Amino acid sequence: MVEAEVLVIGGGATGAGVARDAAMRGFSTVLVDRDDLAMGTTGRFHGLLHSGGRYAVKDPPSAAECMEENRALRRIAADAIEDTGGLFVSTPWDDPAYPDLFHSGCIEAGIPVEILSTAEILRREPRLNPRISGGFAVPDGAIDAWKTVWGCALSAKEYGATILNYHRITAVHRSDGVVTGATAVNAISGEEVAISAGFVVNASGVWAGDVANLAGCEGVTVLPGKGIMIAMSHRLVHTVVNRCKKPADGDILVPIRTVSVIGTTDTEADGPDDVAIPQDEIQLLLEEGEKLVPGFRRARALRVWAGSRPLVKDDKADDADTREMSRAFALIDHKERDGVEHFLTITGGKFTTFRKMAEVTVDRMCEHLGTARSCTTAEEALPDSGHHRFYWLGARLARREETLNDDQLICECELISRRRLESAMEQRHTQNLDDIRRTLRLAMGPCQGGFCIYRATGILHSVERLDYSAANSALLRFLQERWKGVRPILYGDQLRQARLDDWIFQGLLDVEHLT
């Protein structure tokens, strides 16, 4: 039996934010997720730190909220943020009346906005289409979702919280109309864990309706708005670049670490676990990329993936068009809605607003519990961000040069040394190489693990003292997961790289026949 004052279900950005906020206010807290942290929507977006510019015309209140939280995240999560800045540019395919609406919308929402000439934009980003007709600069940025979420989780642990990743909720317990806890099953060992809690927060994103049903609160409708994104093998731009138009498919290019990501499409998924990648959507993104950066199609596409936004259904939205549904968050008070006490659902919203979503949720929980405790999450920095310095792209190279002659290099693409890899393995204590990938960005470079992952498997075998079967399984699972994102974009240089990887893993290592 695990006992806590607060149980948070869902380990994405919102859930991790709620757990951190609750723990910092002095509540004993347990955070549960069915997979590793940030495996759902949070870990499947393009890495944009919103200025709110994308919503300045359509939804000024949401835009203002994004800008407010943009500032807050810069204060508390600097180590996860690259201050790239953002551009909104008009291409020949865009409505010439939209820029005036955009400019006035930014001013109304309190978003700092600067009018730029075409010449200045091309000076900053020379690869952009020379046919653009001016644009604007806004304070967009790029943010590492995994680093941010794990920063929240580690911060929560420092305040006494317990993190139970790889635990699937199978039942939510009620007694006389009051939620009293839940049952979780360890996805690795199969062990059943009973969790007693004075209050339960459902922060499970696109799965929020399913969790609410377990508590007997039916009718929470969260539509999964699926979108795909493509990572190009290098940074085609160094600034977040948006088309200055009503948000649409393929209208944003985000430089995130060593790659650039174009996104995103928007269709209703068949279900929250639907991550199928339609081939026509890949072609659409490549075509739209060409309008921003001529030659985009000839650049090397590294990987494609899909994620689903949790879109809360309302009466005003057109069910057939997820693009038109609100991106605002929804806090559902089940005492008011269903007569079920000590149970809240928080879903919807944006990654950029997760801290605010958590604050609003814990504020409401405090009201139910009759206690007044202030929120300090907007001021106290996450672990590793206390120096308040933004991420610098050259940091890994500088760190590598310091240990050039005394530490083995394991991942050339991401400059991950053996000592750093072993330290991460000891910290995570996992047999899953994808867990290590999310921690260090292992094998996320141009070779997608072709040259490093068999080395990393050998090191995992040693650190975790695995037998040969467990080590083989770890390698095979990793390769299969990487293949899902590589297979749909096999053309040009990426096809050549995949063929080389095939020779390494099949021709030399014969992984197909590993026991």
Strands 48-49 and 141-143: antiparallel
State residue 328's pLDDT score: 79
The whole-number average pLDDT for the span 22-30 is 98
168 DSSP β-pair partners: 185
Whether 293 maps to a domain, the answer reads: yes
Structural domain harbouring 176 = 2-40+146-221+326-369
Instruction: Count structural domains, the chain.
Output: 3
Q: How confident is the model at residue 512 (pLDDT cuts 50, 70, 90)?
A: confident
Pick from 390, 511, 397, 514: which is nearest to 445 by CA? 397
Pick from 361, 309, 276: which is nearest to 16 by CA? 361
The whole-number average pLDDT for the span 319-325 is 54
Q: What is the DSSP letter of 372?
A: -
Whether 58 maps to a domain, the answer reads: no
CB 195 within 8 A of CB 30: yes
Put residue 334 in one of left, alpha, beta given phi > 0 → left and psi -120 to 50 → alpha. Answer: alpha
Q: Which residue has the tokens 């094998």?
A: 443
Q: Is there a single domain that holds both residue 473 and residue 432?
A: yes
* Assigned token pair, 278: 């339609």
Phi–psi pair at 195, nearest 5 degrees: -120, 115
pLDDT in tens, 407-464: 999 999 999 999 999 999 999 999 999 999 999 999 998 889 999 999 999 999 999 9
Query: What size, in residues, is the chain?
Result: 515
Check whether 106 has a pLDDT greater than 60: yes
State residue 208's pLDDT score: 96
* Assigned token pair, 463: 């650190």
pLDDT in tens, 478-499: 999 999 999 999 998 889 999 9
State residue 318's pLDDT score: 45
pLDDT in tens, 363-414: 999 999 999 999 999 999 999 999 999 999 998 899 889 888 889 999 999 9
Q: Is there a single domain that holds both residue 462 and residue 340?
A: no
Q: CA 4, CA 11: separation in Å to the nearest integer? A: 17
Q: How confident is the model at residue 162 (pLDDT cuts 50, 70, 90)?
A: very high
Q: What percentage of the chain carries pLDDT values higher than 70?
A: 97
Q: Is there a single domain that holds both residue 234 and residue 334?
A: no
Whether 54 maps to a domain, the answer reads: no
Whether 48 maps to a domain, the answer reads: no
CB 16 within 8 A of CB 10: no
Whether 57 maps to a domain, the answer reads: no
Q: Which of 263, 298, 324 finishes a domain?
A: 324
Check whether 190 has a pLDDT greater than 70: yes
The whole-number average pLDDT for the span 326-344 is 91
Q: Is there a single domain that holds both residue 466 and residue 340?
A: no
Q: Is there a single domain that holds both residue 428 and residue 495?
A: yes
Q: Is there a single domain that holds both residue 349 and residue 263?
A: no
Q: Is there a single domain that holds both residue 490 and residue 432?
A: yes
Whether 211 maps to a domain, the answer reads: yes
* Assigned token pair, 504: 């390494």
Check whether 316 has a pLDDT greater than 70: no
Q: How confident is the model at residue 307 (pLDDT cuts 50, 70, 90)?
A: very high
State residue 404's pLDDT score: 85
* Assigned token pair, 443: 């094998």
* Assigned token pair, 202: 């459902």
State residue 108's pLDDT score: 96
Pick from 306, 391, 396: which is nearest to 46 by CA? 306
The CATH number of whichever domain residue 18 belongs to comes to 3.50.50.60
State residue 317's pLDDT score: 40
493 against 321, higher pLDDT? 493
Tell me whether residue 499 is exposed, middle or buried, using C-beta atoms within 10 angstroms of its C-beta: 0 to 12, 13 to 18, 19 or more: exposed
Phi–psi pair at 454, nearest 5 degrees: -70, -30
The whole-number average pLDDT for the span 66-93 is 98
Reported pTM: 0.94
Q: Is there a single domain that holds both residue 160 and residue 213?
A: yes
Check whether 302 has a pLDDT greater than 90: yes
- Three-state secondary structure call for residue 296: helix
The whole-number average pLDDT for the span 154-180 is 97
* Assigned token pair, 486: 């590589």
Cis before residue 29, ω within 30 degrees of 0?
no
State residue 155's pLDDT score: 98
Q: Is there a single domain that holds both residue 356 and residue 241?
A: no
State residue 313's pLDDT score: 77
Number of other residues whose CB lies within 10 A of the CB of residue 388:
11
Q: Is there a single domain that holds both residue 344 and residue 410?
A: no
Q: Is there a single domain that holds both residue 200 and residue 249?
A: no
Task: Compute the Cα dihedral for 231, 236, 240, 241 and give only its sign.
Answer: negative
**67 alpha carbon, distance to own chain's centre:** 18
What's the mean per-residue pLDDT of the chain? 94
228 DSSP β-pair partners: 306
State residue 399's pLDDT score: 87
The CATH number of whichever domain residue 129 belongs to comes to 3.30.9.10
CB 327 within 8 A of CB 59: yes
pLDDT in tens, 108-151: 999 999 999 999 999 999 999 999 999 999 999 999 999 999 99
Whether 270 maps to a domain, the answer reads: yes
- Three-state secondary structure call for residue 242: strand
State residue 315's pLDDT score: 44
Tell me whether residue 110 is exposed, middle or buried, using C-beta atoms within 10 angstroms of its C-beta: 0 to 12, 13 to 18, 19 or more: middle
Whether 88 maps to a domain, the answer reads: yes
Q: Is there a single domain that holds both residue 330 and residue 312?
A: no
